[in-house]
Structure 1
Amino acid sequence: MPPASPTQAGSAAEDQALEYLQAQGLRLLARNWRCKGGELDLVMLDADTVVFAEVRYRLHAAFGGALGSIDGRKQKRLALAATLFLQQTPEWAAHPCRFDVVALQGQGHAGQPLLWLKNAFEC
């Protein structure tokens, strides 16, 4: 079987992250929500908190790996997209919010634990 494309690998990582977060009791509100400023991978509800979960997959740990890929520029884009999401879905605007990161690394993520950072950064 040929190796997965980066798009397929990213989608598989998102699927795994979604299953994990749902097993932790979070409820999916939106997946791959797109706007002009960017995209939100997973928008979840954790009790009464809206969680903007960024799923990061990297094959290798080089250059900081999956976690190292969330730089200041990426954080600003996520914050802008989250703001637009809350403006367009006002039923969630009054809820507390946080930004989480779900990081996966390695070929097919086999043998690699998923890392979930709650409240990974603030805006």
Structure 2
Amino acid sequence: MLKGLFANTRAKGMHYEQLAEQYLQAQGLSAVSRNYNCKYGEIDLIMKEQDTLVFVEVKYRKSNNFGGAISALSPSKLQKLQRSIYHYLECKKLKNLPIRIDFVAIEGLSSDNIKWIKNIS
């Protein structure tokens, strides 16, 4: 992606979340929701794989300098994500449903460099 291609960081984030969603759909997951916001934070993607609800954090970095996209998932970010997930489950009255937290890292100017890490928590 060229500098200035996106109007703002939110537009860039939405672009890479869409890439991640398409990638996961190609792997057999189905989309449930995108960008769920609550007082605890945001869930980038909510997907479903068979009976399991999959909550996905998406990170993009233009290079792997300083650890790349994978290093962007800090313990505090993971904690906020977990709180947001519990909030989502309570609001939707979802109980006894298998859940999983996944991470999608996208690095570089090519959309070919996508890493999907299952069950990060």
The normalised TM-score by structure 1 is 0.88
Q: Which amino acid aligns with 1:102?
A: V
Q: Determine the structure 2 residue equivalent to 1:114.
A: 114
C-alpha offsets along residues 7-35 of structure 1, whole Å, 9 cap, x if unaligned? 22211111111111111111111110000
Structure 2: gaps of 5 or more residues: none
**Structure-2 separation of matches of 1:102 and 1:118:** 9
RMSD between aligned alpha carbons? 1.5
**Structure-2 separation of matches of 1:111 and 1:85:** 29
Identity among equivalent positions (%) equals 36
Structure 1: gaps of 5 or more residues: none
Q: Determine the structure 2 residue equivalent to 1:80.
A: 83
C-alpha offsets along residues 57-113 of structure 1, whole Å, 9 cap, x if unaligned? 0112122110001010001000000000000112x3321111100110113xx1642
**Structure-1 separation of matches of 2:99 and 2:46:** 10
**Against the structure 1 CA distance between its residues 111 and 19, is the aligned structure 2 distance closer, same or farther, given a 3 Å change threshold?**
closer
**Structure-1 separation of matches of 2:90 and 2:95:** 7
Q: 1:56 aligns with which of 36, 54, 59?
A: 59
Moved over 3 A (4+): none
Q: Report how far residue 119 of structure 1 moved.
A: 0.6
Q: Which has the higher helix share?
A: 1
The normalised TM-score by structure 2 is 0.89
